[in-house]
Amino acid sequence: MGEFAPERVRDRSRYRPELPLPRTSRIIAGFLLAGLIGLTAYFLPVLQSSATPVVSSGGAILDPVAGPTTPFTVLLLGSDDDSKFAADQYNTQSMILVRVDPSSKQVTMLSIPRDLWVPISGQQGVGKIDTAYQTGGVDAAIATVQQNFQVHIDDYVWIGLKGLIKLIDTMGGVNLVVTNPVMDDFYPADINTSSPYGYYRVALLPGPVHLDGVHALQYVRSRHGDLRGDFARSERQQELLLAMKAQAKHLNIANLPDLASAMNGEVKTSISLQRMRQLFAVLDQYNASGIHRVLLDTPYTSEGFAGGQAVVFPNWGLILPLVHQTFPQ
């Protein structure tokens, strides 16, 4: 048996067929594989963001709803995340509760005044609601809103200054109507600077405009030159959200890698990419008549002083019936 072995080896060597020319199916498979590698490379940022959840350490208290067919509520948080603050120790300058009802195609946006004087979850006593995130992270922010407004929050999205700029630039800017001149002589110059306490002047002229990220941020952040102060800013933030929703309608799947790159590290959310896609599909069906905007200005709130600072006092007797009506459980 053993004596034949070398012979077989020799035979195999002798008779080894020459490699045939690739058949058509192999060539096609090769091209398909190459195309798949090209697509994978293009969508790599999306795959990476899926593999690395953007969910922050917070959000543990959330109990997301099953799917996009039942009404759900998202808490949108916007922070000044410049170098004045320690990492993830930010105030939330913007807090907007958004309720989406897929069956009736109604969206309600309720802006919470950042200076609202309320009991803060996990703390003794009361404080401005915008400090909840700073002291207890997203869990404290969510719990504070839930406890005070008696609403259930399903998901949250947090975004910082640079994140908003990058997101809007990646979307190609936004179109909106500036309702009146937005003038501010003390607009914070705290992005990409070593001196975050500086300021510069802002002037956005009224009328229809196409805004890039920096100017869109100016639009929603400026508050000094408007009679309505922070309430004007809240209103403009809602307008920007609607403009971003309109702009997102024109994006397609090929824009996802750029969006994922822009949001990487700049946005925190409890919403998975899969659910985000579902939400966009749902929001795509909404029109302006189904969107309701709520601001808690007078008589729902009143301005005053507490704890040595200017604050906004809630009139819960009016706010809670409004919330129960616009955010039914």
Does the footprint of other proteins cover residue 159 (CB under 8 A)?
no
CB 128 within 8 A of CB 117: yes
Smallest distance, other proteins to C-beta of residue 38, A? 3
Span near other proteins by CB under 8 A; candidates 18-26, 71-79, 82-90, 114-122: 18-26
Span near other proteins by CB under 8 A; candidates 120-128, 139-147, 202-210, 274-282: 202-210
Query: What is the separation, in whole angstroms, between the first and last Cα of the chain?
Result: 83
Smallest distance, other proteins to C-beta of residue 308, A? 21
At what angle are helices 24-42 and 44-51 packed, to 10 degrees?
60
Cα–Cα distance for residue pair 117/171, rounded to 1 Å = 36
Among 9, 10, 34, 193, indicate the residue that binds other proteins (CB under 8 A): 34
Rounded to 5 degrees, φ, ψ at 231 are -70, -35
Residue with tokens 């406890």: 147
Span near other proteins by CB under 8 A; candidates 20-28, 103-111, 154-162, 313-321: 20-28
Among 83, 247, 264, 326, indicate the residue that binds other proteins (CB under 8 A): 247
Does the footprint of other proteins cover residue 295 (CB under 8 A)?
yes
Span near other proteins by CB under 8 A; candidates 139-147, 155-163, 272-280, 292-300: 292-300
**231 Cβ partners below 8 Å, 6+ apart?**
111, 113, 295, 297
Q: What phi-psi label fits residue 70: left (phi over 0), alpha (psi between -120 and 50 degrees) or beta?
A: beta
Per-position DSSP letters for 8-57, written without gaps between them: HHHHHHHHPPPPPPPPHHHHHHHHHHHHHHHHHHHTHHHHHHHHS----S
Written as six digits, the tokens of 312 are 């906004």
Does the footprint of other proteins cover residue 10 (CB under 8 A)?
no
Does the footprint of other proteins cover residue 197 (CB under 8 A)?
no
Tell me if residue 190 falls in helix, strand or coil. coil
Cα–Cα distance for residue pair 84/137, rounded to 1 Å = 17
Among 179, 192, 309, 325, indicate the residue that binds other proteins (CB under 8 A): 179
Among 9, 10, 11, 31, indicate the residue that binds other proteins (CB under 8 A): 31
Does the footprint of other proteins cover residue 138 (CB under 8 A)?
no
**Interface residues for other proteins in 37-96 (CB under 8 A)?**
37-39, 41-43
Does the footprint of other proteins cover residue 190 (CB under 8 A)?
no
The residue ranges that bind other proteins (CB under 8 A) are: 19, 21-22, 27, 30-31, 33-39, 41-43, 169, 171-177, 179-186, 199-201, 203, 205-210, 212, 224-228, 231-232, 239, 242-243, 246-247, 249-252, 254-255, 258, 288, 295, 297-298
